[in-house]
Chain A
């Protein structure tokens, strides 16, 4: 039994060995076949598809990174820096490199305080943007915070401290409106801006000169080609196209004069524009109330913009170009010129304190209840007699009147270069039909003649119009830019004065009106005689007082009985020295009571400009003389 069993097993074994051997040989064949498949695949990838994959490989590691240009700086006419760039450190987080965001945030807040707002803004950014990009957590780190974070950085993986150039305004609140400000580039901007020029930039000029000169200031973005790894981290730079820095812009504005004017208006609402008449250069342009220009950029003060936008006093509005006011009596010198140029000379009117149109009961009042008696051109301007100008307006008629006033730029923008400039309103029959779809009334002609009714101007327009009188007809385009310097090629470009044209009138008429305006300041009965008394130069000016509430017929004005917000606006426009004007000032103070009351502001500005500058010049002369010796 045992033997036969063994025989069976051995024969089985031989049989199974043969089967196994056959199958091993089969496996060798199968292995050969499959290995050939692998080899075929390698041949395909490395020979047939080589050029495609090699291209992909090289694209894989090269990335183009923009380099933001340095924004041009803004200076005043004397080279004082108004808007510069400041390095700002911020803490950013790349979520892809962080294991536990919450733990990291709590680690960070143990080192630097992270406000609720900053945390929320960060979380919002996390939801919206890529995990591989840096997300801003905290902006405007101070030096100590940067130092502490740098020390602890090894245990804060994914946290990055980055340095960016931010705009820094050095001139304070007085120049906020003129210099303007930047805003974060939003989706709408992205569609409009030149992508290659702005790549890498986060801000764009949105107001003031920052907007007006954006094209000069911004420069041109550069870029570098960098080799990156799969995490997008830079390994080395392959090539670079450096950015072109923006040009530096020098304003025509004098920083100190501006500050003085700002201070002179005081804590009231108002605007002031000072122009050099011979060139049209703007020396000062003030709007009150103002705001801290740096406050806008601060990430951690989100409430501020909102507060400013919704403030009742509208501090963001540049009242010098956007604030429209009835010119009131300041229109009278221009009315005089209108009258003289339309051959209404030697007009004499008796002022009983009011004027009535024939057949109409309504009394058109003069500001002086008792009346001025007999007035002519000279006394009408000096004493600001309304009745005289009612008569003059009636004789001119609205068509001739608005045509004559239009020559001085009323009703149209000066195009000084500040956005949202208002054109104001120069009333005319056509204007009324278009704007209100109504016909013109006779009475409206009279009150237009004293700068009321629909008539409205900006201080920019009033200063410009006054500069035409100061120039005896020459119209120089108001300008804010004095020169630019292209730092890349060290080239200065001067902005020459631009003569737009001349209001051609008889020179005698100009001299006559200038004489009238001098009488306003230096005459015995002049409404602005208070500022003329001790002036070291001759000032030609005109006051204006704009009533905000209608006085009932035959009632007297009593300032003690009326709330301050109903006080009249005071306006004053003037130039000096009267025979060879160097400066024109137009100023309005809301609820400033009267033109006479606010005229000293203009006087301060003129004093500073005419006397301090002269002192400076004489000092320089002395120095020069000393040097020669």
Chain B
């Protein structure tokens, strides 16, 4: 307990910068390291083109500014506006679904002219915030009533995202929302009951999944059965990672990546590109940074004096962790192929903003307990 306190609070990590802005040095340095690694891997994955790299750089810049702004807003104020944020995000989800219904087909994006935005991403933060907000209100009838309301508020956006259809993201929101309720103090009896229900639901839900979704799960167990069909992406990714060996093939030297055997190389499969070129050592380094980042969020949650801040900070940490685990698990062939990006590393703006805004939140929480 003593060690944890030191890690979170001690002066060696405080810099002039972190005094001026409310910045957590560990989180900040981790982000910068990840950004640098990301840009390097992107450069290799996009075939050594500069234009997409510059765009990604601009996105990082914008996301960092947003993070600093969020970090500067007090947790109490954010708590106060949580219902507004949630209702806003929820409305956007309905809008996306409506537009998608008109346009026939999968619709995840909201085109705002210069930027395109995925409202589902916003919900990854808004849902745990809303849960935290409800649980910090005085109970309406009993505390269990509050938990029930939380459950409903989590289920609604999950359902909307599932209908987009985006099974991966909807499950992710469900997991983070449920995690927030757990941190909020749901009794173990209920947790066990819900876990049991979820397990029981899998065989019931199975026929409702799309054919391609079922195929992905089946493929996960034996990708080599259909190496040129459904197992292709998984196999090529594993070959890329494995052939990198301990030291990697060297930057820009990964044949699997450079010869375009890896699908979605700059987004979902960026880790394969990285692991092929930088090997096991590079992979360990990257996962270590993520571990540090996640641990830092959880420790800040642990130390937080505000219940709201605690729930949200822990949820952000777990959100990053779930992304990491699902993404790397997917590219390493132990989880089915689902469209989950690797936070900060993957090319694209929405996920970057979500994660950095979340981390800005965590910084704000840390500041609040000084």
Residues of chain A having any CB pair with chain B under 8 Å: 9, 13, 16-17, 19-21, 23-25, 27-28, 31-32, 34-35, 37-39, 41-43, 45-47, 49-50, 52-54, 56-58, 60-61, 227-231, 235
CB pair A16–B307 under 8 Å, yes or no, is: yes
**CB neighbours of A9 from chain B (8 A):** 138
CB pair A39–B243 under 8 Å, yes or no, is: no
Q: Is B350 an interface residue (CB 8 A)?
A: no
CB pair B255–A58 under 8 Å, yes or no, is: yes
Residues 231-286 (chain B) with a chain A CB within 8 angstroms? 236, 238-246, 255-256, 259-261, 275, 279-280, 283-284
CB pair B260–A27 under 8 Å, yes or no, is: no
CB pair A27–B280 under 8 Å, yes or no, is: no
**CB neighbours of B245 from chain A (8 A):** 46-47, 50, 54
The contact string, 1 if C-beta is below 8 Å from chain A, for chain B 110-134, is 0000000000000000000000000
Known A-B contacts A27-B298, A56-B243; the reply to A46 vs B275 at CB < 8 A is: yes
CB pair B242–A230 under 8 Å, yes or no, is: no
Task: Give CA–CA (A305, B328) in the complex, Å.
Answer: 61
Partner of A235, one of B259, B298, B299, B307: B259
**CB neighbours of A54 from chain B (8 A):** 242-243, 245
Task: Give CA–CA (A58, B141) in the complex, Å.
Answer: 66
**CB neighbours of B217 from chain A (8 A):** none
CB pair A16–B185 under 8 Å, yes or no, is: yes
Task: Give CA–CA (A284, B257) in the complex, Å.
Answer: 64
Task: Give CA–CA (A25, B183) in the complex, Å.
Answer: 11
Q: Is B367 an interface residue (CB 8 A)?
A: no
Expressed in whole angstroms, the minimum distance between the Cβ of A63 and any Cβ of chain B is 11
CB pair A50–B307 under 8 Å, yes or no, is: no
Partner of B329, one of A21, A38, A230: A38
Q: Is B70 an interface residue (CB 8 A)?
A: no
Known A-B contacts A39-B287, A41-B332; the reply to A46 vs B259 at CB < 8 A is: no
Partner of B302, one of A19, A24, A37, A39: A24
CB pair A56–B280 under 8 Å, yes or no, is: no
Residues of chain B having any CB pair with chain A under 8 Å: 138, 179, 182-185, 236, 238-246, 255-256, 259-261, 275, 279-280, 283-284, 287, 290-291, 294-295, 298-299, 301-302, 307, 310-311, 314, 317-318, 321, 324-325, 328-329, 332-334
Would you list 21 pairs from A and B whose C-beta atoms are within 8 A, ordered by A residue? A17-B307, A17-B310, A19-B185, A20-B185, A20-B307, A23-B183, A24-B298, A24-B301, A27-B298, A34-B321, A37-B334, A38-B328, A38-B329, A41-B328, A42-B275, A45-B238, A47-B246, A47-B280, A53-B241, A57-B255, A228-B259
Task: Give CA–CA (A349, B236) in the complex, Å.
Answer: 96
Known A-B contacts A16-B184, A23-B182; the reply to A57 vs B243 at CB < 8 A is: yes
Task: Give CA–CA (A39, B184) in the complex, Å.
Answer: 31
**CB neighbours of A16 from chain B (8 A):** 184-185, 307
**CB neighbours of B307 from chain A (8 A):** 13, 16-17, 20
Expressed in whole angstroms, the minimum distance between the Cβ of A621 and any Cβ of chain B is 69
**CB neighbours of A20 from chain B (8 A):** 183-185, 301, 307, 310-311, 314
CB pair B246–A230 under 8 Å, yes or no, is: no
Instruction: Kindly name the residue among B179, B185, B242 whose own CB sees the greatest number of chain A CB atoms within 10 A.
Output: B242
**A32 — nearest CB in chain B belongs to which residue?**
B291
**A235 — nearest CB in chain B belongs to which residue?**
B259
CB pair A38–B242 under 8 Å, yes or no, is: no
**B291 — nearest CB in chain A belongs to which residue?**
A35
Task: Give CA–CA (A46, B279) in the complex, Å.
Answer: 7
Task: Give CA–CA (A371, B185) in the complex, Å.
Answer: 135
CB pair A27–B255 under 8 Å, yes or no, is: no
**B182 — nearest CB in chain A belongs to which residue?**
A23
Instruction: Kindly name the residue among A13, A23, A45, A230 whose own CB sees the greatest number of chain B CB atoms within 10 A.
Output: A45
Partner of B259, one of A27, A56, A227: A227
**CB neighbours of B298 from chain A (8 A):** 24, 27-28, 31
Task: Give CA–CA (A235, B240) in the complex, Å.
Answer: 18
**CB neighbours of A17 from chain B (8 A):** 307, 310
Known A-B contacts A24-B314, A229-B261; the reply to A60 vs B332 at CB < 8 A is: no
**CB neighbours of B291 from chain A (8 A):** 31-32, 35
Partner of B242, one of A21, A32, A53, A228: A53
Expressed in whole angstroms, the minimum distance between the Cβ of B96 and any Cβ of chain A is 26
**CB neighbours of A24 from chain B (8 A):** 183, 298, 301-302, 310, 314
CB pair B287–A61 under 8 Å, yes or no, is: no
CB pair A61–B184 under 8 Å, yes or no, is: no
**B139 — nearest CB in chain A belongs to which residue?**
A12
**CB neighbours of B260 from chain A (8 A):** 229-231
Interchain residue pairs A-B with the least CB separation, the first 5: A53-B242, A57-B243, A45-B242, A229-B259, A46-B280
CB pair A53–B287 under 8 Å, yes or no, is: no
**A18 — nearest CB in chain B belongs to which residue?**
B185
Expressed in whole angstroms, the minimum distance between the Cβ of B275 and any Cβ of chain A is 7
**CB neighbours of A230 from chain B (8 A):** 236, 259-261
Task: Give CA–CA (A231, B262) in the complex, Å.
Answer: 11
Q: A20-B307, A46-B244, A57-B242 are in contact. List 6 more A-B contacts (CB 8 A).
A: A31-B294, A43-B280, A45-B332, A47-B246, A49-B242, A58-B255
**CB neighbours of A13 from chain B (8 A):** 307
**CB neighbours of A45 from chain B (8 A):** 238, 241-242, 332-333
Task: Give CA–CA (A38, B325) in the complex, Å.
Answer: 7
**CB neighbours of A57 from chain B (8 A):** 239-240, 242-243, 255-256
Instruction: Kindly name the residue among B239, B307, B334 whose own CB sees the greatest number of chain A CB atoms within 10 A.
Output: B239
Task: Give CA–CA (A46, B244) in the complex, Å.
Answer: 6
Expressed in whole angstroms, the minimum distance between the Cβ of A475 and any Cβ of chain B is 63
CB pair B295–A31 under 8 Å, yes or no, is: yes
Task: Give CA–CA (A27, B318) in the complex, Å.
Answer: 8
CB pair A39–B284 under 8 Å, yes or no, is: yes
**CB neighbours of A235 from chain B (8 A):** 259
Task: Give CA–CA (A28, B291) in the complex, Å.
Answer: 10
CB pair B302–A25 under 8 Å, yes or no, is: yes
**CB neighbours of B334 from chain A (8 A):** 37, 41
**CB neighbours of A231 from chain B (8 A):** 260
**CB neighbours of A32 from chain B (8 A):** 291
CB pair B302–A60 under 8 Å, yes or no, is: no
Instruction: Kindly name the residue among A25, A38, A52 whose own CB sees the greatest number of chain B CB atoms within 10 A.
Output: A38
